[in-house]
Structure 1
Amino acid sequence: MAYCSRLIGFGGCLPERIVTNQELSETVDTSDEWIRERTGIHQRHIISGNETCTSLAVNAAKQAMEYAGLTVDDIDAIIVATCTPDQVFPTTAARVQQILGIKKGFAFDISSACAGFVFGLSVADNFIRNGQAKNVLLIGSEVYSRILDWSDRRTCVLFGDGAGAVILSAEEIQNTAKQDKGILGVYLHTDGSYGDLLYVDGIPSRTEDSCFVRMHGQEVFRHAVTKLSEVVEEALKANNLQHEDIDWLVPHQANLRIIAGMGKKLHLSSDRVIVTVDRHANTSAASVPLALNEAVRDGRIQKGDLIVIEALGGGLSWGSSLIRL
């Protein structure tokens, strides 16, 4: 018996506090115009009060489970993609399991920076295809506000906090050679020789504030355009699909210019590209599931649509996936 992974649940959570470009310009040498022109970002959400990486993940997970019509007894595995956990261990996934009251299965975190959700999608899909899990809760949750140098306008304007979640569910397929639904494939790459282009110079935690994101922005931008284009073409070729077969591009939300460039390369009109970077900024591993959640819930993405997702992050690590919803 063969199985594929269907996405059946979607959820998202953004912190209550919104920080606008104008507010940032009052404390750092920047302006609303400068940020918008270079990134497309207008605002970002930042945790405050009792909000944490775990609390954002839990709220996103609850939404995804409700959307899917599942209870805690249905979840076999929890995977959290994050590089800004509240603790080194227990993992964020274990904390989520505890808070939700899930008593079976297993839970763990993965860390692959902004590509974390795509890497997590591959792991979850393989668990389902191998029969090790029936329903997997996959969450991307990040609180980059903990690891930003708020005096460095090159980085502090780019990121925001948030969490997005999906539920992958096993569905039997009769012919694996002609699979036409669910996750059709996930395509991953890492090149550690570029590791010093984007990194954090310490270990983040809920109480530690001495480590910061460091980035060579122009070099990362250049690699992102090239590598994301290549990995999307790889996915299409592997599935004998063409640009015109794509209904939606759901990209990592790092920079509006990169997103627009990818849309043009795939010959997609702008209304077929999901954009949240203007309101969320770059939420790293949370950006793709947050964008998916928004577009599914507002009715743009419909069942049966062919979706391309892609992301690139520190490592450098990058990947893409083709999904028939």
Structure 2
Amino acid sequence: MTLVSKSRITAIGTYVPEKILTNEDFEKMVETSDEWIVQRTGIQKRHITADHEFTSHLCIKAVEKLRDTYNKTLDDVDLILVATTTPDYSFPSVACRIQEHFGMASTGAIDLNATCAGFSYALHLANGLITSGLHRKVLVVAGETMSKITDYSDRSTCILFGDGAGAVLVEHDDTEPGGFEAVVMGTQGDGGISVYRSGLSETMNGQPLEGRGRIVQNGQEVFKWAVRTVTAGIEELLEQADLSREEIDWFIPHSANLRMIESICEKANIPLGKTLQSVQLMGNTSSASIPLALQAGIDAGQLKTGDRLLLYGFGSGLTHAGLIVRWGVPAI
């Protein structure tokens, strides 16, 4: 059974901060080495915000890039969906900051937090709202400033994370087939203790939390869960859409760790050469990693209009969401 869809992704824009943190920089901060980091994660460098830069600033620059590259008007956007786990403020939302900057007079504005699965969740919501007839033009943005919640004395996590943002425009489109072909999502809430950032509550399931507002992660548990869950989710997506692996042009998973991506590809029998990722040059940018990987595919001349993509986000919660979509962005 294919997913009913009357929407399509029509434009994309991304942005990463100018400041770069290399593996050599980490050698001066914690007990580690370039060889150790690359061997375990594949990461070579990551972009980091300045003290005065926050998630809304990155998101606004990504939207500006989308608007200018594809000559899109934003006045008629009727909903802004922002996926982030690092908003500038508890409230107002990042979506409201974007609305103010661009002066979109008649639009809703919502932030959602599905951590590293946020972009996939937001795309699913955008398609559902447009296909139902409630909306016609939704701006989906994913932005993170992970550096601001990273403990740079914890060598097991500080080497992983970077900052960045990506934005796509999802518009009403009756053309057959639709832009969205299949979706799968799920949650394993009892795994929340494996990766978290404490907030108002300092306990979870009766256990005291660590980190004092910084990321805390049991990397091995998250790795095992992600490989198992995403592999099964890929099978479900292909079955739902009645597609073979060969009919997928590109696999774009959340870029958490290159070794994790390699393991997922091996278990799911997907060639690594058909995979787009952003982790090597940008680190783990949480919800922004998939749009950054899409942009990297465009820049390399790999991603073409009409390509069939399998997107898969997964992260803290534990939560995951996968989509099969037809790429509708025109070549520039």
Please report the TM-score for the alignment, with normalisation by the length of structure 1: 0.93
- The C-alpha deviation readout for 1:263-302, integer Å capped at 9, x for no partner, is 3344443331112211010000000011112212432111
Kept in 1, the 8 Å contact 2:12–2:295? The answer is yes
Q: Does 1:202 align with 2:199?
A: yes
- Secondary structure at the aligned position of 2:263 is classed as helix
Task: Specify the alignment match of 1:290 in structure 2.
Answer: 292
Task: Specify the alignment match of 1:180 in structure 2.
Answer: 177
Which one-letter code corresponds to 2:246 in the other structure? E
Task: Specify the alignment match of 2:244 in structure 1.
Answer: 242
Which one-letter code corresponds to 2:34 in the other structure? D
CA distance in 2, matches of 1:269, 1:191: 28
Task: Specify the alignment match of 1:123 in structure 2.
Answer: 125
Q: Does 1:152 align with 2:154?
A: yes
Q: 2:61 aligns with which of 43, 59, 66?
A: 59
Task: Specify the alignment match of 1:191 in structure 2.
Answer: 188
Q: Which stretch of structure 1 is more off in the superposition, 253-262 or 162-171?
A: 253-262
Q: Which runs of no fewer than 5 residues in structure 1 stay unpaired?
A: 174-178, 204-208
- Secondary structure at the aligned position of 1:86 is classed as coil
What's the CA shift for 1:88?
0.9
Task: Specify the alignment match of 1:83 in structure 2.
Answer: 85
Kept in 1, the 8 Å contact 2:16–2:58? The answer is yes
CA distance in 1, matches of 2:324, 2:261: 17
Which one-letter code corresponds to 2:57 in the other structure? S
- Secondary structure at the aligned position of 2:17 is classed as coil
CA distance in 2, matches of 1:264, 1:246: 16
CA distance in 2, matches of 1:234, 1:289: 23
Task: Specify the alignment match of 2:45 in structure 1.
Answer: 43
CA distance in 1, matches of 2:66, 2:218: 36
Which one-letter code corresponds to 1:316 in the other structure? L
Which one-letter code corresponds to 1:43 in the other structure? K
Kept in 1, the 8 Å contact 2:194–2:221? The answer is yes
The CA RMSD measured in Å over matched residues stands at 1.6
Kept in 2, the 8 Å contact 1:202–1:212? The answer is no
Kept in 2, the 8 Å contact 1:3–1:131? The answer is no
Task: Specify the alignment match of 2:32 in structure 1.
Answer: 30
- Secondary structure at the aligned position of 1:83 is classed as coil
What's the CA shift for 1:210?
4.5
- The C-alpha deviation readout for 1:160-203, integer Å capped at 9, x for no partner, is 01001111111014xxxxx5341112211111111100100226
Which one-letter code corresponds to 1:33 in the other structure? E
- Secondary structure at the aligned position of 1:146 is classed as helix
The 1:262–1:7 alpha-carbon spacing in structure 2 relative to 1, beyond 3 Å, is: same
Paired positions, count? 314
Kept in 2, the 8 Å contact 1:148–1:213? The answer is yes
CA distance in 1, matches of 2:83, 2:25: 29
Task: Specify the alignment match of 1:206 in structure 2.
Answer: none
CA distance in 1, matches of 2:71, 2:6: 19
CA distance in 2, matches of 1:3, 1:249: 20
The 1:297–1:167 alpha-carbon spacing in structure 2 relative to 1, beyond 3 Å, is: farther
CA distance in 2, matches of 1:148, 1:197: 16
Kept in 1, the 8 Å contact 2:5–2:179? The answer is no
Task: Specify the alignment match of 2:330 in structure 1.
Answer: none
Task: Specify the alignment match of 2:272 in structure 1.
Answer: 270
What's the CA shift for 1:49?
4.4
Task: Specify the alignment match of 1:106 in structure 2.
Answer: 108
Please report the TM-score for the alignment, with normalisation by the length of structure 2: 0.91
- The C-alpha deviation readout for 1:21-58, integer Å capped at 9, x for no partner, is 11011011111111111000011111004321000000
